[in-house]
Chains A and B, each alone.
Chain A
Amino acid sequence: MTVTIRRPPGARARRPAWEEPPTPLGQGVKAVLLTLLVLGVLFPLWVVLVTSLSSRQTIADAGGLVVVPKGIDTSAYQTILAGGAVTRALWISTLVTVCGTAIALTVTVLAAYGLSRPGSLGHRWLLAYFLVPFLVYPPLVPRYLVVTGLGLKDTIWALVLPPAISVFNLVVVRGFFQGIPQELLDSARIDGASDFRTLARIVLPLSRAVIAVVGLFYAVSYWNVWFDALLFMDRNDMYPIQRVLQSYLLAGQAPHTAGGTTGVSMPPTEAVKMAVVVLTVAPIVAVYPFVQRHFIKGVLIGAVKG
Chain B
Amino acid sequence: MSEPAVVVGPERARPDDPAPPARAPRGRRVPLVSRLRRDWQMLAMVAPGFLVLLIFSYLPIAGNVIAFQDYNPYLGDNPWAAFTHSNWIGFGQFQLLFDDPAFWDAFRNTLAITAFQLVFFFPLPILLAVMLHNLLSSRLRGLVQTVVYLPHFFSWVLVVSFFVAMLGGAGLLAQTMREAGMQPWNVMTNPDTFIVLVTAEAVWKDVGWGTIVFLAALSTIDQNLYEAAAADGAGRWRRLWHITLPGLRPVVVLLLILRLGDALSVGFEQFLLQRDAVGRQAAEVLDTFVYHFSIATGNYGYGAAAGLFKAVVGLVLILAANRVAHLLGERGIYSKS
Interface 9-residue window, one of A69-77, A79-87, A205-213, A285-293:
A285-293
Q: Is B165 an interface residue (CB 8 A)?
A: yes
Q: Is the CB of A120 within 8 A of B60?
A: no
Task: Specify which chain A residues have a CB less than 8 angstroms from the CB of B240 in the assembled complex.
Answer: none
Q: A64-B175, A65-B175, A127-B11 are in contact. Are A178 and B136 (CB under 8 A)?
A: no
Q: Is A191 an interface residue (CB 8 A)?
A: no
B209-266, CB < 8 A from A: 212-213, 215-216, 219-220, 223, 226-227, 230-231, 235-236
Q: A30-B131, A178-B18 are in contact. Are A255 and B166 (CB under 8 A)?
A: no
Q: Is the CB of B56 within 8 A of A162?
A: yes
Q: Is the CB of B157 within 8 A of A129?
A: no
Min CB gap A161→B, angstroms: 7
Q: Is the CB of B21 within 8 A of A117?
A: yes
Q: Is A122 an interface residue (CB 8 A)?
A: yes
Q: Is A275 an interface residue (CB 8 A)?
A: no
Min CB gap A10→B, angstroms: 11
Per a CB cutoff under 8 Å, which of B78, B151, B179, B227 touches A18?
A: B227
Most buried by A among B42, B143, B144: B42
What residue in chain B is nearest A194 (Cβ atoms)? B41
Number of interface residues of A (CB under 8 A): 123
Task: Specify which chain A residues have a CB less than 8 angstroms from the CB of B204 in the assembled complex.
Answer: 40-41
Q: Is the CB of A136 within 8 A of B39?
A: no
Task: Specify which chain B residues have a CB less than 8 angstroms from the CB of A113 in the assembled complex.
Answer: 42, 45
Task: Specify which chain A residues have a CB less than 8 angstroms from the CB of B49 in the assembled complex.
Answer: 107-108, 110-111, 114, 130, 165, 170
A48-67, CB < 8 A from B: 48, 62-65, 67
B interface footprint on A266-288 (CB within 8 Å = 1, 0 otherwise): 00000000100100110011001
Q: Is B72 an interface residue (CB 8 A)?
A: no
Q: Is the CB of A119 within 8 A of B27?
A: yes
Q: Is B95 an interface residue (CB 8 A)?
A: no
Task: Specify which chain B residues have a CB less than 8 angstroms from the CB of A289 in the assembled complex.
Answer: 146
Q: Is the CB of B52 within 8 A of A129?
A: no
Q: Is the CB of A250 within 8 A of B157?
A: yes
B44-70, CB < 8 A from A: 44-46, 48-50, 52-53, 55-64, 66
Q: Is the CB of B150 within 8 A of A288?
A: yes
Per a CB cutoff under 8 Å, which of A62, A139, A225 touches B311?
A: A139
Per a CB cutoff under 8 Å, which of A47, A119, A144, A280 touches B166?
A: A47
Give the CA-CA distance A107 to B26 in the complex, in Å. Answer: 27
Task: Specify which chain A residues have a CB less than 8 angstroms from the CB of B285 in the assembled complex.
Answer: none
A100-149, CB < 8 A from B: 106-108, 110-111, 113-115, 117-122, 124-149
Q: Is the CB of B79 within 8 A of A141?
A: no
Min CB gap A286→B, angstroms: 11
What residue in chain B is nearest A116 (Cβ atoms)? B42
Q: Is the CB of A64 within 8 A of B63?
A: no
Q: A41-B147, A195-B42 are in contact. Are A6 and B165 (CB under 8 A)?
A: no
Q: Is the CB of A131 within 8 A of B7?
A: yes
| Leading 7 A-B pairs by shortest Cβ distance | A142-B63, A111-B49, A128-B4, A114-B45, A224-B155, A114-B46, A149-B79
23 A-B pairs with C-beta separation under 8 A: A13-B136, A18-B226, A18-B230, A34-B140, A41-B208, A48-B162, A108-B49, A117-B20, A129-B50, A131-B7, A138-B60, A138-B61, A140-B303, A145-B300, A146-B56, A146-B79, A164-B52, A164-B56, A242-B158, A284-B150, A288-B153, A299-B213, A303-B212
**Other CB < 8 Å A-B pairs besides A12-B138, A121-B36, A165-B52, 4 of them?**
A41-B204, A119-B20, A121-B39, A147-B56
